């Protein structure tokens, strides 16, 4: 069986093209979509994500306002900054790069963000609406996964879908999207995690597997059935002395081993990653358009 590889970069590019058109149309009406990005400290992975987001904003014409703060910033200072951005009518989206330093309570920070500017979709208000099937900001990675399945006309209706990973940013919201009574839902979803016994018993019965674990290449070909559709969310650094940086990125799936066994597969890098940033742009223009409509 030949495996279809979903090109996340190409798909992301198509969606970014649409976003760029919407950004221009809004600019003509006098509103420049603006995303405020807050990062604390100098963790290289977080800084690299933030640089990627800034560049993506620039490419589609979204204004990116960056707040690079010290890792010793207090929770109170961060709350005050977010409250100021909540009041600032020229800001349409607020993103706080996670993880935060240990002395800051992540829930407090996420709950401080105005739900109307919650373009990450992590606020309890957004997640509650998602669960109820109401219009909201859908968290970017789960939204990207849905778009990837759509792009290759994979129907989720009646399918057995196994999600490995139950985080609040990927696995849990994705499970909600996939069980909704919508054309991209109607699936029977099983969520597996670190306490799941005999993971293979679940993955072997799956029509579609979404791996969001953070363990390099843990899903191997002996754990899946022929023709399975696999979306690999994982991004893991593994040592590689042949690379200038000393490491390379791999997913949670043994990509090579799945070739000719899976019917559809996503690469890492170049799969879900570009889609995640793209859906952030999508949420930011959506927020700016809502602001314009409310005027």
Ligand X SMILES: NC(=O)c1ccc[n+]([C@@H]2O[C@H](COP(=O)([O-])OP(=O)(O)OC[C@H]3O[C@@H](n4cnc5c(N)ncnc54)[C@H](OP(=O)(O)O)[C@@H]3O)[C@@H](O)[C@H]2O)c1
Closer to ligand X by Cβ: residue 85 or 163: 163
Phi and psi at 198, nearest 5°, equal: 50, 65
In Å, what is the CA distance from 74 to each residue of 106, 118, 140, 143, 163? 12, 21, 27, 32, 36
Stretch that binds ligand X, among 129-137, 145-153, 229-237, 283-291 (CB under 6 A): 229-237
Tell me how far apart the alpha carbons of residues 101 and 53 are, in angstroms, rounded to a whole number: 20
Stretch that binds ligand X, among 81-89, 103-111, 166-174, 182-190 (CB under 6 A): 166-174
- Contacting residue, 51, 103, 193, 243, with ligand X by CB under 6 A: 193
141: contact with ligand X by CB under 6 A: yes
* Residue from 9, 13, 42, 53 carrying the catalytic annotation: 53
> In b/e form, how buried is each residue of 132-168, taking b as 16+ CB within 10 angstroms?
eeeebbbbbbbbbbbbbbebeebebeebebbbbbbee
213: contact with ligand X by CB under 6 A: yes
Task: Give the bridge partners for 107, in sequence order.
Answer: none
User: Is 254 a residue of the active site?
Assistant: no
User: Is 120 a residue of the active site?
Assistant: yes
Number of residues forming the site for ligand X (CB under 6 A):
26
Stretch that binds ligand X, among 64-72, 181-189, 213-221, 287-295 (CB under 6 A): 213-221
Q: What is residue 163's three-state secondary structure?
A: strand
233: contact with ligand X by CB under 6 A: yes
Whether the CB-CB separation of 286 and 20 falls below 8 Å is answered with no
139: contact with ligand X by CB under 6 A: no
User: Is 261 a residue of the active site?
Assistant: no
Closer to ligand X by Cβ: residue 27 or 237: 237
Q: What minimum distance in Å lies between the beta carbon of 218 and ligand X?
A: 6
165: contact with ligand X by CB under 6 A: yes
In Å, what is the CA distance from 144 to each residue of 8, 83, 186? 9, 29, 18
215: contact with ligand X by CB under 6 A: yes
* Residue from 117, 118, 120, 147 carrying the catalytic annotation: 120
- Contacting residue, 276, 283, 284, 287, with ligand X by CB under 6 A: 276
37: contact with ligand X by CB under 6 A: no
- Contacting residue, 154, 258, 272, 288, with ligand X by CB under 6 A: 272
Q: What is residue 125's three-state secondary structure?
A: helix
Percent helix / strand / coil, the chain, rounded to 5:
45, 15, 40
164: contact with ligand X by CB under 6 A: yes
Stretch that binds ligand X, among 21-29, 31-39, 148-156, 228-236 (CB under 6 A): 228-236
Closest CA to 55 of 283, 295, 280: 280
Tell me how far apart the alpha carbons of residues 126 and 45 are, in angstroms, rounded to a whole number: 26
Residues in CB range of 26: below 8 A, 6 or more apart: 32, 33, 285, 288, 289, 292
Applying CB under 6 A, which residues contact ligand X?
141, 164-167, 169-171, 192-196, 199, 212-215, 218, 233-236, 272-273, 276
Catalytic site positions: 53, 97, 120
């Amino acid at each position: 069986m030949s495996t279809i590889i979903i090109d996340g970069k190409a798909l992301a590019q198509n969606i970014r093209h649409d976003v760029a058109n919407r950004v221009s149309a809004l600019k003509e009406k006098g509103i420049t979509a603006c995303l405020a990005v807050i990062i604390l400290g100098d963790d290289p992975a977080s800084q690299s994500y933030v640089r990627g987001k800034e560049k993506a904003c620039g490419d589609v014409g979204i204004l990116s306002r960056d707040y690079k703060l010290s890792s010793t910033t207090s929770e109170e200072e961060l709350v005050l900054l977010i409250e100021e951005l909540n009041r600032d009518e020229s800001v349409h989206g607020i993103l706080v790069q996670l993880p935060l330093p240990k002395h800051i309570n992540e829930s407090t920070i996420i709950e401080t963000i105005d739900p109307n500017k919650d373009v990450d979709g992590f606020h309890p208000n957004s997640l509650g609406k998602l669960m109820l099937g109401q219009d909201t900001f859908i968290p970017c990675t789960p939204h990207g996964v849905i778009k990837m399945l759509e792009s290759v006309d994979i129907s989720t209706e009646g399918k057995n879908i196994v999600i490995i990973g139950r985080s609040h940013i990927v696995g849990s919201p994705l499970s909600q999207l996939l069980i909704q009574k919508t054309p991209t839902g109607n699936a029977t979803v099983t969520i597996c995690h670190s306490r799941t016994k005999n993971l293979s018993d679940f993955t072997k019965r799956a029509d579609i597997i979404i791996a969001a674990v953070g363990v390099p290449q843990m899903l191997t070909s002996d754990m899946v059935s022929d023709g399975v559709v696999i979306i690999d969310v994982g991004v893991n650094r593994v040592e590689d002395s042949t690379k200038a940086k000393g490491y390379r990125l791999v997913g949670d799936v043994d990509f090579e081993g799945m070739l000719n066994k899976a019917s559809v597969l996503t690469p890492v890098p170049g799969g879900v990653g570009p889609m995640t940033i793209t859906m952030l742009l999508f949420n930011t223009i959506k927020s700016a358009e809502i602001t314009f409509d409310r005027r």
